[in-house]
Amino acid sequence: MQVLANHTSNGDLDVRSWRWDSKGFSTSLYYKFPSFGGVSINFAHIWQIVAPLKDKLLIWLCIRERLNTKDLLIKKGIQTHPVCVLCGVQNENHAHLFLECRWVQNLWHSLKHRF
C-alpha cells in the first residue's frame, strides 16, 4: 500500500495526492500516520492475546521493527557482521529475519502443516 497515490481524471496528467485526508498533505498528519505501510494497527489487541507476556512483547517489538536485528545493531554503533546467521546469504533485518530468509520460510512451511 502506498501513502501517495496517482490519480487520473479525464485524461489529465497524474497528480500526487495524500490518500488519507481530502484537505491534502500536512506535516503533522504525516507524523501521526503509522509507519506500517498505511495499515493502522491497534496494539491493544496484542496485549489481549492469551499467551505468555514474553511472546506478546516479541510480537509487539517485531511489528514495530524494534528487535535488535543486525541492521539495527550496526545503526546503534555495535560492530557485528551484517549477514544472517541462519542462511548466511543476505543481510539481517526484520523483513529478512521473519519473512525472506529461506531457513525461516522452511520453518513457516513446516509449521503450517503441523497445525
Structural domain including 80 reads 44-114
**pLDDT digits 0-9 by tens, 37-88:** 555 667 788 888 999 999 999 988 988 889 999 999 999 999 999 999 999 9
Asked, for residue 99, whether it belongs to a domain, the answer is yes
**pLDDT digits 0-9 by tens, 64-77:** 889 999 999 999 99
Number of domains in the chain: 1
- Mind spelling out the 3-state secondary structure of 45-103? HHHHCCCCHHHHHHHHHHHCCCCCCHHHHHHCCCCCCCECCCCCCCECCHHHHHHHCHH
Asked, for residue 37, whether it belongs to a domain, the answer is no
Give me the mean pLDDT over the 3-22 stretch: 56
- Which pLDDT does position 76 carry in this prediction? 94
- Which pLDDT does position 30 carry in this prediction? 59
**Which three-class secondary structure state does DSSP give residue 105?**
helix
Asked, for residue 35, whether it belongs to a domain, the answer is no
Asked, for residue 3, whether it belongs to a domain, the answer is no
Asked, for residue 55, whether it belongs to a domain, the answer is yes
Asked if 98 contacts 104 with a C-beta cutoff of 8 angstroms, the reply is yes
User: What does pTM read for this prediction?
Assistant: 0.59
Quote the percentage of the chain above a pLDDT of 90. Answer: 47
Asked, for residue 22, whether it belongs to a domain, the answer is no
Asked, for residue 87, whether it belongs to a domain, the answer is yes
